[in-house]
Amino acid sequence: MSVPFRQHLRLIWGLCALAVLVLLNPALCEEGMWLPHSLPDQLMAEMQALGLELGKAEIFNAGGTGIANAVVGLGATGSFVSPEGLILTNHHVAYGAVQRISTSDRNYIEEGFLARSRDEEVPAHGYRAYILLSSEDVTARVLSALEPAMSPLERYGVVEKATKEIVRDAEEGRDVYCEVNEFYGGSKYLLDTFLQLTDVRVVYVPSRSIGEYGGDTDNWMWPRHTGDFSFLRAYIGSDGKPAQFSKDNIPYRPTSYLKVSKEGLHDGEFAMIIGYPRRTHRYLTSYGLAYKEDFDYPERIRLYRRMLEILYRESEADLEAAVRVAGRVKGINNRLKNNLGMLEGFENFDLVKRQVEREKVFKAGLEADPQMMDKYGDLLDGFRSLHGARLGHAKPDLILEYLVGRGTLLSQAMLLYKWSLEKEKNDMARHPDFMDREVPDLKTKLRIFQMGFHERSDREILRMFINEILALPPGQRIEGISGVFTGAAGGELADAVDSFLDRLYSDTRLDEAGERMSMFGLSHEDLLAENDAFIGLAAMLYDDNEARLERDRSFGGAMTLLMPRWIEARAAQAGRTLYPDANGTMRLNYGVVKGYSPREDVYYAPLSTLTGVAEKHTGIAPFDCPERLLELAGLPEHGKYDDPALGDVPVDILTTHDSTGGNSGSPVINGKGELVGCLFDGNYEAMTSDFLFMDDLTRSISVDIRYVLFIADRVDGARNVLEELGVE
């Protein structure tokens, strides 16, 4: 806990430097997630003023040689860091893969994993690497079939059909993966074309006590001391085409990879991040925000807590269960903490009230301008009635969403049942998730499910959701479950649920991967003829679930009528172009290394060190620093890994970047286009920034590349990795 004088001084001068920076750059504005292939000139000018030495073409180009061309979609984000397809991403991005290769004998999560040669690299089951080849505006074609008289549900269907056709045409005869995404709530559509690599392998993951140091306690927190990094590698068939795992596959040679700068990043310095942020909601109305605060978060939090209670209980009782459900517990915990933080942020920052104020200003603007009033006067009422109607079904829909879709045996049955119906349709007529192109993905889901499956936990979670459904008021019945238990109550009802569960788990073969795979091949009729109890339950729930999905689609269709006009109106009032919300497509954002003040009298400096890692050590997880690292922390110097200004090895960095879920693993890139860090988290105050970015509080957290290299070298002796990075 003691703070060396040196560090104190460093902090003070850092703050002085910061003060100067703040004064010289009063208009610094890091909000915004921009499309790397179409960066506004103004943004380029801002970045160049701050230290960017690259032009647009060096950021992204059709030839694939820009820095953004080195960025890899992994669900989250990674980046190529060698000509041989080596990918740097987060420890927590690789977590699932490492969990799946762990057994009760070898716990690679705890120990870490290092392949000393290509031969030792092991498959990351279910992982894909997506490399963006191009992005094309297809708005005209998507919107061409829309007609004013269409219902919201029809509109949704027409847009879905158009995008499917565009994707089909784009993929036709090419070994690529395509998707069409909606921007600005539906006024712009881009067709993104990706190379999709299906053979991804684990190369090097540090031990949990480094990669997850601080664990859930430190999650979203600063100061941070987590070495949240890992290395994967993408492979390709020997014929140069994407291929499933095979020993004959060869490392993929990317058209672009990032060079590592051993300089790392320093206080006040400029940097960019490029990644795949999933979703922001910066244009939500007060009605949409109120829905989140009053219903959505509180209800999700309640359900997460009930699920965790069960999983903790089962994990305590049984080591096998603990290993099996570890990934799931981690996932739910992350979402719970996120939702709790969101709710707290909504309250602390008065998000709804702020938005109400903005809407008052908006209305006043309309009233002052008859033309604007004419064009946009209906908007806010439209949003209000849309969200009001949604609330009527929100609770049963949310329960159903978790019941059928969260990694339980029932979700496997739902998948098989729906597939048996969809497969009978023409490919283009299917739900997008069940088109031919998704078949390998569906199969993977069926296969990898086994690794996280633990029957008692699965059963207890199902029981919990059944009880949730049985407690719903009459107007919100979910017939497929409620119908089964009509008439029963009290202890009798509990017994009936028990027998129902007994029957389900004894009369199913879905708990075996082979059986699921073979059922995947069956026709609808043959699947039913299997008389599998879980398939039977899926059949009973099918209509309920389809009705839920239809309500969602209808809501989505109605939103496409309002949202583009709302953003258009706001842009018109603001007199400037607005950036589109994150939607899972590649984005670029710039920022600087910068501390912040979370509350009165408390100031956070932006760079943590190895000394800080050791200071947090208690010997008890998640603060159980490896012995070797403690020894290193005790040394007076660490050669090339010490930052001259810090006089210590840098660990994590606080920057002003605008990021969200999906950005995990994003490369942090300096003005020369070199890799200097790997983003892995936002700060606690950044959570509500998905709805409202706050210049003074929103921060991203990255691991400094020098800590990555230091750990690889001095702790894990990963010479082969360092050599491949070209830093040996």
Closer by beta carbon to its own copies, 224 or else 292: 224
Tell me the residue type at 166: I
Out of 245, 283, 295, 349, the residue judged to bind its own copies by CB under 8 A: 349
DSSP-assigned letters across all residues of 573-584: HHTS--PPPP-S
In 3-state terms, what secondary structure has residue 355? helix
Q: Give the CA dihedral 339, 345, 348, 350, nearest 10 degrees.
A: -100
Report the chain's C-alpha Rg in angstroms: 26
Out of 368, 574, 602, 620, the residue judged to bind its own copies by CB under 8 A: 602
| 668-to-103, 411, 675, 678, 707 alpha-carbon distances in Å | 34, 37, 6, 5, 14
| CA–CA distance, 204 with 91 (Å, rounded to integer) | 10
| CA–CA distance, 575 with 568 (Å, rounded to integer) | 10
Note the Cα 664 to chain centre separation in Å.
7
664 is an active site residue: yes
Considering the candidates 664, 666, 700, 702, report the single residue annotated as catalytic. 664
Out of 521, 603, 640, 717, the residue judged to bind its own copies by CB under 8 A: 603
Residue window 174-213: x/- pattern of binding to its own copies, with contact defined by CB under 8 A: ----------------------------------------
Residue 13 interacting with its own copies (CB under 8 A): yes
Residue 28 interacting with its own copies (CB under 8 A): no
Query: Crossing angle of helices 319-348/351-367, nearest 10°?
Result: 40
Residue 5 interacting with its own copies (CB under 8 A): yes
Q: Minimum CB separation from its own copies for residue 651, in Å?
A: 9
In the region spanning residues 455 to 484, those forming contacts with its own copies, defined by CB under 8 A, are: none
Q: Name the token pair of 66.
A: 């820009």
Closest CA to 344 of 293, 384, 289, 308: 293
Residue 24 interacting with its own copies (CB under 8 A): no
Query: Crossing angle of helices 533-574/152-171, nearest 10°?
Result: 100
Applying CB under 8 A, the site for its own copies has a residue count of 41
Which helix or strand (DSSP H or E) is residue 669 part of? strand 667-669
Residue 364 interacting with its own copies (CB under 8 A): no
Closest CA to 109 of 328, 335, 332, 327: 327
Residue with tokens 């409202």, as numbered in its chain: 692
Q: Minimum CB separation from its own copies for residue 603, in Å?
A: 4
Q: Which stretch binds its own copies (CB under 8 A): 274-282, 375-383, 609-617, 620-628?
A: 609-617
Closer by beta carbon to its own copies, 103 or else 618: 618
Residue window 696-725: x/- pattern of binding to its own copies, with contact defined by CB under 8 A: xx----------------------------
Its sign, for the CA torsion 238, 242, 247, 253, is positive
Which helix or strand (DSSP H or E) is residue 492 part of? helix 490-506
> What's the CA angle centered on 330, arms 325 and 335, to 5 degrees?
125
> Would you give the DSSP letter of residue 117?
S
Out of 6, 12, 120, 317, the residue judged to bind its own copies by CB under 8 A: 12
| CA–CA distance, 17 with 576 (Å, rounded to integer) | 32
Residue 348 interacting with its own copies (CB under 8 A): yes
| CA–CA distance, 523 with 686 (Å, rounded to integer) | 48
Residue 598 interacting with its own copies (CB under 8 A): yes
Q: Minimum CB separation from its own copies for residue 17, in Å?
A: 10
Q: Minimum CB separation from its own copies for residue 659, in Å?
A: 20
Closer by beta carbon to its own copies, 180 or else 629: 629
Residue 623 interacting with its own copies (CB under 8 A): no
Q: Minimum CB separation from its own copies for residue 367, in Å?
A: 28
Residue 429 interacting with its own copies (CB under 8 A): no
Q: Which stretch binds its own copies (CB under 8 A): 98-106, 162-170, 440-448, 604-612?
A: 604-612
Out of 597, 634, 639, 723, the residue judged to bind its own copies by CB under 8 A: 597
Which helix or strand (DSSP H or E) is residue 154 part of? helix 152-171
Out of 352, 607, 668, 669, the residue judged to bind its own copies by CB under 8 A: 607
| CA–CA distance, 517 with 443 (Å, rounded to integer) | 7
Closer by beta carbon to its own copies, 26 or else 173: 26
Out of 69, 408, 609, 660, the residue judged to bind its own copies by CB under 8 A: 609
Out of 15, 146, 372, 540, the residue judged to bind its own copies by CB under 8 A: 15
Out of 104, 599, 637, 644, the residue judged to bind its own copies by CB under 8 A: 599
Considering the candidates 37, 91, 92, 387, report the single residue annotated as catalytic. 92
With beta carbons less than 8 A apart as the criterion, state whether 214 and 225 touch.
Answer: yes
Catalytic residues: 92, 228, 664
Binding interface with its own copies (CB under 8 A): 1-3, 5, 7-9, 11-13, 15-16, 18-19, 22, 222-223, 348-349, 595-609, 611-612, 615, 685, 694, 696-697
